[in-house]
Amino acid sequence: MALKLYAMTCGWLSLPEAALIEGGSADDLRIPVPCYLIVHPRGTALFDSGLGTVCQSECDDYMGDFASLMQVEFLPGEELKTRLETVEVDVAGVDYLINSHLHFDHAGGNEQVKAARLVVQRREWEAAHEPDLIAAIGYKPVDYDHGHDLLLVDGEHDVFGDGSVSCIPTFGHTPGHQSLRVQLDGGEVVLTGDACYLRRSLETLRLPPGAAHDRDSMQEALKRLRGLQARGARIFYGHDPDFWRGVPQAPARIA
Ligand SMILES: [Zn+2]
DSSP 195-229: G--SHHHHHHTPPPSS--SSHHHHHHHHHHHHHHH
What was the pLDDT predicted at 1? 56
Q: Of the candidates 235, 251, 231, which has an alpha carbon nearest to the alpha carbon of residue 243?
A: 235
Ligand 1 centroid to 240 CA: how many Å? 14
What was the pLDDT predicted at 210? 83
Backbone angles phi, psi at 210, to 5 degrees: -110, -5
Ligand 1 centroid to 211 CA: how many Å? 7
What was the pLDDT predicted at 121? 98
Helix and strand numbers, DSSP H then E, in the chain: 9, 12
What was the pLDDT predicted at 175? 97
What residues of the chain score a pLDDT lower than 70? 1
pTM, whole model, 2 decimals? 0.96
Ligand 1 centroid to 50 CA: how many Å? 11
Contact between 122 and 143 under an 8 Å Cβ cutoff? The reply is: no
What was the pLDDT predicted at 217? 97
Ligand 1 centroid to 88 CA: how many Å? 29
How far CA 48 is from CA of 26, 27, 93, in Å, comes to: 28, 27, 16
Ligand 1 centroid to 241 CA: how many Å? 16
Ligand 1 centroid to 100 CA: how many Å? 8
What was the pLDDT predicted at 193? 98
